[in-house]
């Protein structure tokens, strides 16, 4: 029910995703300081969490996903794909995913989708990402919009939810954005990105020593 792109520029790693179902941002995308992945079709949050933990410990994405998929009883109905900071990538599409399903990889990115209008959606996402420049967040949004314009999910004119999640060593308010239930969530995600970046700039100007923390101080649970 989904199309997504995972990408890395070697420093930042992120996922952009859209689907004809609510709250995809709470289920499918995962980011680590060492990479990014998406679990979709038949979503598995435990698989995403375990893969992220392996990435955090320095395991490459291909080894992490192949190890966990081999133990996954639902692997035939699942898609898992992602990238790591070392240039690795992987795409798994189970044979029982709903047509059209498949994936594509390129330099620094992977794309996967299922229940799409056709392979052209994946191709459009790749072209949108490769033609874009600037910050990784913006490139991911450009790619997601290209997939939506190419037809996206075959069940409806627009997706229902979308999300952008990015690991950035210099975090901003725009690194974790979601539209959980919206008539045009991909465009709404773009609007939220603009709002978040504008607000972040205002905060930085008013508080020049402010730093966003990705993890709580030592000793916090």
Listed in sequence order, the residues at least 6 apart from 206 whose beta carbon sits closer than 8 Å to its beta carbon are none
List domains and CATH numbers for the chain.
Answer: 2-206 (3.60.20.10)
pLDDT of residue 106: 96
Sheet holding 13-19, edge to edge: 102-106, 109-114, 2-8, 13-19, 161-167, 176-179
Which CA distances in Å does 134 have to 13, 19, 54, 131? 14, 25, 29, 10
Please tell me the distance from the alpha carbon of residue 191 to that of residue 194, in angstroms, as a whole number.
5
Helix runs in 43-135, H state only: 45-56, 61-70, 120-131
* Helix locations, 57-184, DSSP H: 61-70, 120-131, 136-149
Q: What pairs with residue 18 in β-bridges?
A: 3, 162
pLDDT of residue 217: 43
CA-based nearest residue to 190, from 125, 117, 140, 122: 140
pLDDT score at 219: 42
Ordered per-residue pLDDT tens for the chain, 221 residues: 699 999 999 999 999 999 999 999 999 999 999 999 999 999 999 999 999 999 999 999 999 999 999 999 999 999 999 999 999 999 999 999 999 999 999 999 999 999 998 999 999 999 999 999 999 999 999 999 999 998 765 555 668 999 999 999 999 999 999 999 999 999 999 999 999 999 888 877 777 655 655 554 444 33
Give the pLDDT confidence score for residue 213 in this predicted structure.
56
- pTM of the predicted model as reported, rounded to 2 decimal places: 0.90
Rg of the chain taking only CA atoms, in angstroms: 17
d(CA 212, CA 173): 8
How does DSSP assign 206-221, residue by residue? Answer: H-TT----SSPPTT--
- State the residue for tokens 């933990």: 53
Whether 13 and 31 have beta carbons less than 8 Å apart is answered as yes
DSSP three-state, residue 104: strand
Which pLDDT value is given to residue 206? 75
């Amino acid at each position: 029910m989904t199309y997504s792109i995972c990408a890395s520029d070697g420093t930042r790693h992120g996922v952009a995703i859209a689907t004809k179902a609510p709250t995809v941002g709470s289920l499918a995308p995962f980011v680590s300081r060492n990479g990014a992945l998406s679990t979709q079709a038949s979503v598995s949050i435990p698989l995403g969490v375990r893969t992220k933990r392996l990435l955090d410990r320095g395991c490459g994405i291909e080894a992490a996903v192949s190890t966990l998929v081999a133990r996954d009883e639902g692997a035939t109905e699942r898609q898992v794909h992602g990238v790591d900071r070392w240039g690795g990538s992987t795409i798994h599409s189970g044979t029982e995913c709903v047509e059209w399903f498949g994936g594509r990889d390129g330099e620094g990115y992977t794309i996967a989708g299922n229940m799409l209008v056709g392979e052209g959606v994946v191709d459009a996402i790749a072209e949108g990402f490769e033609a874009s420049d600037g910050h990784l967040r913006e490139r991911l949004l450009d790619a997601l919009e290209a997939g939506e314009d190419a037809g996206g999910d075959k069940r409806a004119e627009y997706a229902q939810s979308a999300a952008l999640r990015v690991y950035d060593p210099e975090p901003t308010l725009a690194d974790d954005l979601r539209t959980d239930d919206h008539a045009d969530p991909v465009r709404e995600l773009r609007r939220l990105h603009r709002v978040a970046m504008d607000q972040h700039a205002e905060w930085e100007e008013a508080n020049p020593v402010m730093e966003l923390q990705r993890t709580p101080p030592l000793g916090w649970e």
